[in-house]
Structure formats: structure tokens, C-alpha cells
Structure 1
């Protein structure tokens, strides 16, 4: 049997509403209704009838409170005590938040003040003057045409044709004059840079003090170099006053909860002493990094004494480069080691008989040190203007801050317009003065060709490898006479872009139109004696799987102030790394030491790994 639906009750009626479905059984005079609502008994006459429930009606709920008499009461709000309790809780939460913020701030402040010495300072390198912009005949012709065609109408065909002829005639002369002038500027800048470097290395007092003070200008403790005696530099440092420290420090209650407690005198002195040591060590580290010829630094620390509110010396001593560089500075507490590794060190904070740190600062007696005493007498406080005197001292120590008098750097390579060249043509046509650098066309090298570099190349040699078609990296190997490096530090590549204290370094890769150019700078005169050769090589990007045959328009350009050379290596599809050129020391017929350049253009199929192994680098 399938699904069936049957209504078999006589007198059954069905009523459907939103409250459910109801069924009624019985005559209209007395009808029982059963359904989704409640069971009722109906009786009545005509279309109207009354209905009485038989029981089991719904229970109604009432959320309002009633009194015993049955009357409904009004809902009540929180009491005054409850509101006061909530207010106190909010105040306590606000106080705890402010306390936690103050604790975090104090911890960060102390960490910053006592961790200055953990910074690293890169040593200064010989300056490399960038070469002048490369100009071409199309550029010169465009400049000349713009000048000669100015003011001529579009329909002045004869005049425009004549102007173009004049432009074609003038462009080569304009180009040659600008190139010669720019290379002359480059030679002057290079000579100035080398002169500055030699003065710095030779510990010329004015050069060293100016360079060091420029580096000190952004230090948290103001200071400056005031003199150089042989290889010893004198530095004065201004330490923050101990009264500038906060009055509170983070602590914990007996129950282990964080709190703020009053900073005791001994804790205040320890904080201040550690901060002073951190600034002293950082000043020494940066001074040695910036002044390569300095072997020791005499440093004196001046501050305002808390008892007298007068200026006095808080510490002085001599620290050698070896002592500073031999300590592994890792923790803030290491800053206090400045007291132990120096020579003739004196400090205004002493120790008690039990060996504990003293809670007072006593100015050092400098009466037997004429130089320090003279400096202190010159900066002596005036009771009527203590703040002004201290401000004046701070101003003296910061007098070399370059940010206060920096001027826009001049554009040494500003290209003269064609109109300017026209006004200078008579003088420009004169032969160059004796010794003035003159632009010469680059010498094109062939594989295996070698030549002797001029003396100018010793002071600054630029290298540029330009290419297209695929990506390649420039690498340098500083080797002995057998083309083997003495250590992996003599391998210059993208992860180690400098060697021999900056005498050989990569300058980065740039896009130049459709080509890529990676440059390097070499200071032959600064290379150590064990470096007898320098290999200039390229290697393909290992991730691409491409070979040197994928390179197009590859060219190595090298030059100094007055001469340049170019070499186009072969596009060999069988290799992934190539020695493009070599520089090597040579003894001339006059028994004079010279550097020579040789074009090579040979390589290795296994790429950079094979190239590095062939030069003695441990590739793992």
C-alpha cells in the first residue's frame, strides 16, 4: 500500500491560523475544539458563541517584582556603594596602567643609556671619487641643435638647414671640451681626496680633529677631539649630570607585584657610572674607527658635580686601540670595564672600605695636569650664570656639529650648456696647461694583451662591467704571486663587498638603460704587500643556469684620472665564470715596482665554485 490520507470523523472541522491548526468535533451547540492552542468547549447560538477553557491553560510569566498586596513595584538601579566600588576599581586600574607604563619607560631609558657601547662603528676607508658622467656625440649634437635652432620658425627651411650644419660642426668640439673639463675636475677631486686621506693617516691634527668631530656630532654625550700629539688623540666628553636621572626605579613588592620604588643614592651612582662608561667606550670605539693612524686616546669626562653644582672632571685616562678592540663588548655591564683596561685611569666614583661602590661623586684633582686644569679654568662656572656657562661649554663641545652649518653640496660635475661653451670657445681652444688631465680615447685591449699602468692608477682605479642579456656578478680575488688567496677575506663578492680595509671594494650594480653596470674601486697603493695579484672576474647567476654565452654587449672598462681601457670578453657558451682581466705587480727594467694590466677572457664550466677553488677559496 502506498501513502494514504483519510478524514473519517463526522462533523470534523479544521481551522488554520498563525497560531496553529485546530480541529472541532461535535454539533455547533456543543463543540469540542482540539488543536495547536488549547482544548475548549464551545456553546452558543447563531454566528456568535462564547468559549470556556477546560483547563491546562498557558502559564504567563511576569518579570516585574510585586509586593505582598499584589501591586507592581518599580525596577531599582545600582546603589551608591556599588557605584563607589566601581569608581575605585577604575581608578586602581588606571593607576596600575600608569605604573606599568612608567616601569617600561624607566627600563627602556636605562637600557638605552647603558648600551651605547654595544654599537659597531665601521672603519673609515680611502675615499673613492666617482667618475664624471659619460657624454656622447648624440647628446652634444642635440644640445648644439637646440641652441642653433632656437628662434627659427618651422617654415624657415633654409635657415634651419644651415643651423643644423653649424650644430654638426660644433658638436664634436663641444663634446671634447666638456669631457676634458669634467675629467680635469675628476682629477682635482681625486687629488684632494688622496691628500685628505694621506693627512688623516699621517695624523695631521686639523684633519683628524675635523673628521673625528664630524663623526661625534650625533653622539648622545657631546664631545670633541681637541688635539693630536703623534699618534695620541685628546678628547673631551660632556657626560649628563647625575641630577638628570629619574628619582624612581622599577621594583617588586613583598608579594612579587611590580612597583616603583625610590632610587637610592648608590643605585643612582651605579646607573650614572654605567652610562658614563658606556659613552666613554662608544667614544673610544668611534674615535679609533674614524682615525686610522691613532693608536691611543687620552679622554677626559666633564660633568656638573651634584654637591657644588660646579663643573668638574668625573674621569680621565688613556686607552689604546688594542685594549678597546680586544674586549668583546656584549652586555651593558661590560661598560664598567673601561676602569680596568685603561692606563692612569681616575674616576670620581670610588669604593668604600668594604669594597662597595660609593654613593657620592667627588671631583677629580687636576692641579697636576696642566692641560685639564687649563680647560677646567676656562670653563669655570660663574655663580651668577651657572646655566649660561654650562650651556656655553656644551656649545663649544658641539661647535663642530655639521648639522648646524651644512650647506648644499656643490655639483662638481655640472655640465656647461652649449651657450656657456660658445662664450668660452676662444679660451677653450687654447692648449691645456702643463699637467692638466687631458681626455684620451680608451685603449681597446685584446685577449692576452698587457700594459703598464700609469702612476695615477695607483691612487685610484675604477672598474665597470656592463652587460645585457642575462645577469652576472663581478668578483675580485686578492692573491699572492701564484694566484692563491691568503684567506677567504681576500675574496670580494656580493656577500663580502670589501677587502684589505676598503682598498678593493664593490660599489654595487645599477641599471643603465638597457644595460646593467656593476662597478668597483681599487686603491693599489693601499693594498698590503702580500697581495701580488688581483683577479677581476665575473660569474653567472647560478639560479638561472645560463652561461657566459647568454651575455650580450659585455664590456669591462677600467680607468684612472687621465687614462682608460676597455676589453670585450668572448661570449663563451661553455663556461659560467670567467677571469676577465688581471692586475699584477711587476719589476720594470729600471728596477721600479709597477702594476700591470692583462686582458684574459678565460673561465670555468662549473661557475663560481670552480673559480673560487682555483684561487684557493674554501667553498665548503
Structure 2
């Protein structure tokens, strides 16, 4: 509570838009074959030959269209990013407030940028109520036995004041880091005043970028320096004539600051009223939902399926065959079981991981024969959803009733030669600290046009990441190349880091 100001924040810099995923003709051809061969039995040789010819005719156009579309998206994102950065450094009020509030959303003391005037930003911060602090602290007796010591009113106020100063400094440091054009911040703090149990302002002032960035923030006690380095700083905790801090907290007279006084004049400390109130501001600040900064980046470069592209071009003189293929019941795999995949799996394999109970992520590792990636680009996950020129892709998560389903698509025939194995893995959300035992109804399903396989990974309480299954190249007894599937279900106690390192990914 009294040391959050010791953290540092990286200064904002112009955003760099990543390039679109690389796509290759083998991927496009595999997508086209999957589309045109749908519904055709293995003995319909003439029809399958014609379908493959149509796929070869379409693949080049599909590839060119997707490359052009993705390059156009990158151009639009680059322009948008440049315009956003120019607005931020020019202190456009809406841009600055939105950006700063995004950064503030995971702070322990909720803060909100409420306006920008020139290069000065106004911020309101919600400090924890002093009545929420315990009134006892651990201690020892004269004989050395542990005990609980009751805090004096002055000690409790000093604790609360130090915590408030720590949060003020943190809010100022982050605000200046995020908004490079801001040179000073007017900050006001609200809390619930103990005597009246009503919300009131207990500190305000102006702090400049220079004083905050040049300050030596090394000890918890440095938090109290907020009283000395700001301009026109006023605090509800006064210093007595003897030099000690007061043991009371009194709301401030805000009549000198028209904005704060206006808010108080029109405030009703009643969240149920319809009018804009100080209680409403308190609720907005205290909501403090930090999900946004941690949310996965939207997939702006989502690759259209061949079906989507085909529906936008003139119909072929030879329309694809229709009809639902007959798929046998799924094969349920056991740990360690392996089997040879049918030829249909080479042209299109869908992977789906269904689960409940906790959050988890599906990942793919495209590796050599020793289960090591050749580069970090062969690690496919939600922040890098495409690999091998489109041959392996994440398709995102969706809710299906009480469960979550995350899907991926793989074209084995389009994987480059250096990819000898493909590991299908899961890892628990790194922020929760939960293990795989927290997952309920967990099941991996793999499906192609001819067959479906399912595997239930073990609910191991000792691991946080797991290789669920792997696909690997093999030569059949007659010497022909085939792909095989093995159910694994083994994992790593240290979660995603251990999983990635085991497959040769540099995790920094």
C-alpha cells in the first residue's frame, strides 16, 4: 500500500503496426482443395480429379486477393496509428483522456483523467477510505512473544497518508509516461471522510513532469514528498504547531477551485439519484475493472476462408460438389495412443479445444524432429495467430453455452519441409495461477473430412501447461510419407514459460 510509487513506467512511443501474416501458394492450394473436394467420396476419381483442377485454377487468385486485402488493412492501420499518435502528442483532449484512463484501469487507487487544458491534464483519484484500514498491527511483547498492537489515531492517519501519497505519485508517473505532451497534472483526491461518512476532497495540487521524473523514488517514506514538490498543494491532514501530523482528516475547502466546488455544490452522496453526483463519480472510479489492458489483441489480419473469398467472385462453370460427407463416430484416444491419419487430413484438419471452469489458451508449435522450433515465428498463439505462410492458424475463442471453445486449422500438406512435428498444447491463464485441474469438461477434438478424433487431457493438479497431442511425419511400411497422430497429455509445472522453452521458443 505504501510502496506502489516505487514502480516505473516506460514512456509512450509511436506505435509500430506489425505486418500481416505471410501466406504461400501451398496454403492457398490446400484451402481450395478442401473446398472443392467437400462431399466427394474417395472412389469418385473423375470428380475428384476435376475438383483438384478447379482448386489449382482458383488458388492463385485466392492467394493474390488475400495478400492485397491484408496489405490494404496494414496501410489503414498504419494511417490510423499515425493519426492517433499525432493527436496524443498534440494533447487532443479525447485522445489523451481515453489513453490515460486505459492505463489507469488497473491501478490500486482508481484514477480518471477528466480534462486537458493546453498541456495540463486534470485527474481525479479515489483513495481508499481510512475506515477500511485495520486498527491493529503485528508486534512483539517485551518478552519477545508475537502480539497485535493497537495503532494510535496518529499512526493510522500516517499510514493512510503515506498510502495516498504513494498512489498520487504512481498516478502522476503513469500519466506523464502515457501522455508525452502533458507538462503538468492537476490532481484531486476523493475519499470518504471519517467524521461525516460522506465523500469529500482530501488533497489537490499541481505537479509538473520535471519534479516527478527527477524525484528519487527509492523508499516508502518518499511518498510523503508529494506534499513538498507540488504547486499549491493542499491536504486534509495538517501539521500541528509542534511539527507532528494531525490525527484527524477534515474535508478541504474547495471554494478557490471552481471546478471542484461546482462538483461538490451539485453533489448528493446518494448513488440512487438520477443526477450526476459525487457518489456516481466514486462508483465510476471504484469500478476499476482491469480486464482491458490484458485483453488479447483483436485479430485485424484475420484471413478469409476460401469459402468467403469464393462467394465474392463469379461462380465457376463447374460448381463444387454438394452433399454432406458421411463421417464415422469419433475415435476416442487414450494417453500414448498413436495412429496414422487418412489422406483427407492432409488437406484440412480442424482442431477444437472445449473447456470450462477456468480460462486457458490453445497454442501450436511447428517444430523439427526434435520438437524445437526453427524460429519464434513457428510458435502460433493468440498474439501470433498464423504460421507457416498460413498453413497453421488460430481461429479464436467463442462461447458455447457454459463452455469455451478455441479453434485452430492446419493444412498438413502446406507445411514447409522443416516442420516435422506439430505440437498441440494448452496453457492456463498465467494471471490466475491455476493448474490444469481447474478445467472442467476439457476435451480436444480433431476433425477432417473422413474422421474425427477426441482426447480428454488429464486434470493434473501439478501442471499449468500441457502438450495434449502431436502430429508428426512418418513413412509407412511401403515407404510412402504419411502423418501420424499421438495423444500425449504431459505438461510443465511452470506453465507457458516452461512449455515454450521446451519447444525452443525464446521467452526472454
TM range (shorter): 0.5 to 0.7
Q: Is 1:142 the equivalent of 2:30?
A: yes
Q: Is 1:510 the equivalent of 2:341?
A: no
TM-score (ref. length: structure 1): 0.48
C-alpha distance in 2 between matches for 1:400 and 1:291: 20
Alignment check: 8 A CA contact 1:201 1:293 kept? yes
Q: Is 1:280 the equivalent of 2:168?
A: yes
Aligned to 1:324: 212
Over aligned residues, Cα RMSD in angstroms? 3.0
1:169 aligned counterpart, secondary structure: helix
Deviations 1:386-441 (A, max 9, x none): xx9776333222567463899875432222222222221259xxxxxxxxxxxxxx
Aligned to 1:17: none
Larger RCO (alpha carbons 8 Å, 6+ apart): 2
Alpha carbons of structure 1 residues 246 and 214: separation in structure 2 relative to 1, 3 Å: same
C-alpha distance in 1 between matches for 2:272 and 2:297: 43
1:183-202 equivalences under 5 Å are: 183-202=71-90
Q: Is 1:171 the equivalent of 2:59?
A: yes
C-alpha distance in 1 between matches for 2:132 and 2:47: 79
C-alpha distance in 2 between matches for 1:299 and 1:186: 39
Alignment check: 8 A CA contact 2:110 2:288 kept? no
Aligned to 2:9: 121
Aligned to 1:263: 151
Aligned to 2:43: 155
Alignment check: 8 A CA contact 2:102 2:292 kept? no
Q: Is 1:368 the equivalent of 2:256?
A: yes
TM-score (ref. length: structure 2): 0.58
Q: CA deviation at 1:254?
A: 4.6
1:449-460 equivalences under 5 Å are: none
Alignment check: 8 A CA contact 1:224 1:398 kept? no
Alpha carbons of structure 1 residues 190 and 313: separation in structure 2 relative to 1, 3 Å: same
Structure 1: runs of 5 or more not aligned: 1-112, 428-467, 469-507, 514-552, 554-620
C-alpha distance in 2 between matches for 1:406 and 1:215: 11
Alpha carbons of structure 1 residues 159 and 311: separation in structure 2 relative to 1, 3 Å: closer
Aligned to 2:363: none
1:245-264 equivalences under 5 Å are: 245-255=133-143, 257-264=145-152
Aligned to 1:296: 184
Q: CA deviation at 1:167?
A: 1.9
Q: CA deviation at 1:143?
A: 1.7
Q: CA deviation at 1:328?
A: 1.2
Alpha carbons of structure 1 residues 391 and 158: separation in structure 2 relative to 1, 3 Å: same
Structure number with greater Rg is 1
Determine which of 116, 125, 129 is the counterpart of 1:237. 125
1:422-441 equivalences under 5 Å are: 422-426=310-314
C-alpha distance in 2 between matches for 1:306 and 1:151: 74
Q: CA deviation at 1:252?
A: 4.5
Q: Is 1:351 the equivalent of 2:217?
A: no
Q: Is 1:342 the equivalent of 2:230?
A: yes
Alignment check: 8 A CA contact 2:237 2:245 kept? yes
The number of residue pairs the alignment matches comes to: 321
